[in-house]
Amino acid sequence: MPPNPRLPIVNGDDGIWGNILVQYLEEQHVNTGGTNGAVGNGGHQNVTIIAGTSALAPLTLTSGTSLATPAAGSLEFTTDNLYFTITTGTVRETIAMYNDASGTRGSLYYRDSTSGPLIPLPLGTSGQYLSSNGTIPAWNNLVYANATKTSGYSISATDCVIFANATTASVAIQLPLASSVPGYQFTIKRIDNNYPTYSVTVTNSGSDTIDGTTSGTITLNLQYTSITVISNGSLWYII
């Protein structure tokens, strides 16, 4: 009669029983590198990681070399970067990281280099707006570019407010083509009191109209009068 089957006894079975159990665990957890210890063995339907402690992290990755060919679903840690490979196109994506200790409430995070982590941009003060110098974002105070003109001048996209001073000569302010600055608005204000000796006019470019005026010319006769115009991409309108 064969002996009754039983489970191994802890600290009581070594030799064959212990060796078989150790080999099984090593193979299933890809520890031996043998024929059965290949990627795919040791898989589990569900994995629960217990909570860490102040002395032991629940999960620790060791930096290594990234796969020569990205594999969908792979999580890789190389030097200071953490990667995850997506299925579509099998692309290795870098997981964005930031130093939480240096951030504050309302901070925005941006990438300051091609390979560096995210760094915080503290929240701006009330009334500031977010802009860019072409490299990094920054908060700036709202400032309207303005200039005083005493002779003919063609407005550019960098202008905002033009003060026309016709004390010694007439001043003609020409708008750019509406199609070149869609959504832009400009304000022109007369600051002298020398009408009718000298005039201040706001003129169009090309075939643009200003509030449907085909001549495309608006005259400012009184001191401190002004107009603000905005482009809809093809025409100018006074607002």
In this structure, are 151 and 211 located in the same domain? yes
Per-residue pLDDT for the chain (239 aa), expressed as one digit of tens each? 566 666 667 776 666 777 777 777 666 655 544 444 445 555 555 678 899 999 999 999 999 999 999 999 999 999 888 999 999 989 999 888 877 777 778 888 888 777 667 888 888 888 788 988 778 898 888 888 899 999 999 999 989 999 999 999 999 999 999 999 999 999 999 999 999 999 999 999 999 999 988 777 899 999 999 999 999 999 999 99
Examine residue 44 and state whether it is found in any structural domain, yes or no. Answer: no
For residue 205, being part of any structural domain is answered with yes
- In terms of domains, do 181 and 223 share one? yes
**Tokens 């032991």 found at:** 56
Start-to-end CA distance of the chain, whole Å, equals 104
**Residue ranges making up the domain that contains 115:** 100-140
Is residue 226 one of the residues assigned to a domain? yes
Within 13 Å, how many C-alpha atoms sit on residue 230's CB side? 3
C-alpha distances out from residue 113 to 45, 95, 150, Å: 39, 15, 46
**pLDDT value of residue 32:** 47
Whether 3 is in a domain gets the answer no
Instruction: Output the pLDDT for position 220.
Output: 97
Same domain, 189 and 154: yes
Residues 153 and 230 reside in one and the same domain: yes
Q: What is the pTM of this model?
A: 0.51
pLDDT at 37: 40
pLDDT the model gives residue 34: 47
Domain CATH for 228: 2.60.120
| Number of domains present in the structure of the chain | 3
